[in-house]
Amino acid sequence: MQTLQAPQHFDDALLDHPRRALFLRLIAAWLVLTALCALAALRFGMGQVDAQLADRVNEEAAHYATLFTEYVAAPTAERKRRLDQELARLTADGFRIIRLYDTHGDLVVHMQTPGTTGYDSALTQATPARPDSETEIWHRTRLMGHPHLIMAGAIRDRSGTPVGYGTAIYRFDEQSIDSLEGLVRMVSLMVAATVFASLLLVYPLVNFLNKRLLVSARELMRSNIGTLKTLGSAIAKRDGDTALHNYRVTICAVRLAEALKLDDRRIQRLIIGSFLHDIGKIATPDAILLKQGGHTTDERRIMRQHVGHGVDIVKQYPWLATGVEVVAGHHERYDGSGYPLGLKGEAIPLIARIFSIADVFDALASTRPYKQPYPYEKIVEMLTVDLAGQFDPAILATFVPISRELYETCSSLDEKSADAMLTDIVERYFPGIRNGRRAGPRPQPG
């Protein structure tokens, strides 16, 4: 079995840098539209060239088809001379090689532009060795650095009866290429200018509407964060605690995540999960949740069900569900002895492994009705010796060097100062909740 994975994707570009993000997206749209229109112009231009070439080929084919039909019907030297003369004219004016076959597939005549090389092998590779009247080829390609057209098809007499088969390679003339390139440039410039002018006209309106959208998005973000704090405080108070535990454990977890250089998106999920980690205790009966002393086996089983209840609660709302990895995995242990799934090692989500260290650290450092806070040295000993099997050793090794600072900071916090510190963290990692703040960790003093 595996824990649920966080589904939410925070698209915070517009919240973080609204004007720049909007401008970049409009520019991207302009470039895409210009490229698409240029491609359309290129396809249209090539289509026009193909159409013109097809008209020319059909016109020329009608001429040499008559000569070829006469020759294969009754071969004479004069008819061969007239056919060769016509093909020589064609190979001097665009065509580079022409081969004509009879209906049996035998080569009747071969004509190539004098002084050219490479066309014979190119035509041999691109067309059948013994062609038939059913094969049609019209293939644009590049040969010797220039655009060419390889073509093949049946030769028919006036009645439409196949009398042979022809293959040829035609080189596009420079005038056609220059004309095509000019068309593409002209259309591209016209489209670019038109789209850019349109963007200049609509940008003020889009920017105005975007500002209104951002105001609503920021208000929604503030409401979501407020909901997190309220839920976390309500859960803590029902458990006989105060909101201070939720605040401290979130502060410690985020500080550890920063030391591990986690990306902003995972820290966002960690913050949400830290607030909501015990939300499932809402479904735990008071008689068990608030019971003083130890629990029976059945009571422990019911207490452990708060993890599943928590997952069921948060997964109903996509934004809350981004914290599901912490909610589902904060009681799993690195050695596999945790619950509810008994996950082991890296099967436990990373942010859940981070949170579990912060959660136990704060529990040991806090005053509870049944205990006083442990001294710092004792806490470190317990984490690294007595309870070491519960935690990811690499994460624990990163936590220990920063733990004294966290111990001293959290020990001096009251609910008001903790709330202020947590608000600062939230504003850093949820862009746009306050104007002018960027996502990311606050630079640590050197």
Q: Which of 355, 372, 446 lies closest to 411, judged by CA?
A: 372
- pLDDT, residue 134, reads 74
CA 329/CA 414 separation, integer angstroms? 28
- What are the structural domains, with CATH classification, of the chain? 95-172 (3.30.450), 219-429 (1.10.3210.10)
Sheet holding 95-101, edge to edge: 107-112, 95-101, 162-171, 146-156, 137-143
Token pair belonging to 249: 């454990």
- pLDDT, residue 142, reads 86
- pLDDT, residue 35, reads 75
- DSSP letters for 154-211: EEE-TTS-EEEEEEEEEEPPHHHHHHHHHHHHHHHHHHHHHHHHHHHHHHHHHHHHHH
- pLDDT, residue 17, reads 53
How many CA atoms lie less than 13 Å away from 326 in the CB half-sphere? 30
* Cα Dmax for the chain: 119
Strands (E), 20-145: 95-101, 107-112, 137-143
C-alpha distances (whole Å) from 431 to each of 217, 361, 426, 440 are 11, 29, 9, 9
Please provide residue 156's backbone torsions phi and psi, each rounded to the nearest 5 degrees.
-120, 150
CB 338 within 8 A of CB 390: yes
SS3 content of the chain, % helix, strand, coil (to 5): 65, 10, 25
- pLDDT, residue 294, reads 80
- pLDDT, residue 249, reads 93
- pLDDT, residue 3, reads 44
Which secondary structure element, helix H or strand E, spans residue 27, and what is its range? Answer: helix 18-73
CA 310 to chain centre: 31
Which secondary structure element, helix H or strand E, spans residue 146, and what is its range? Answer: strand 146-156
pLDDT along the chain (446 residues), means of 10: 45 53 72 75 70 72 83 91 91 89 88 90 85 77 85 86 89 72 72 74 70 69 76 72 81 97 94 92 86 84 93 88 94 95 95 96 82 91 93 96 94 88 88 52 46
- pLDDT, residue 360, reads 95
**pTM attached to this predicted model:** 0.57
CB 379 within 8 A of CB 364: yes
- pLDDT, residue 241, reads 63
Cis status of the peptide bond prior to 340, with omega within 30 of 0: yes
CB 222 within 8 A of CB 433: yes
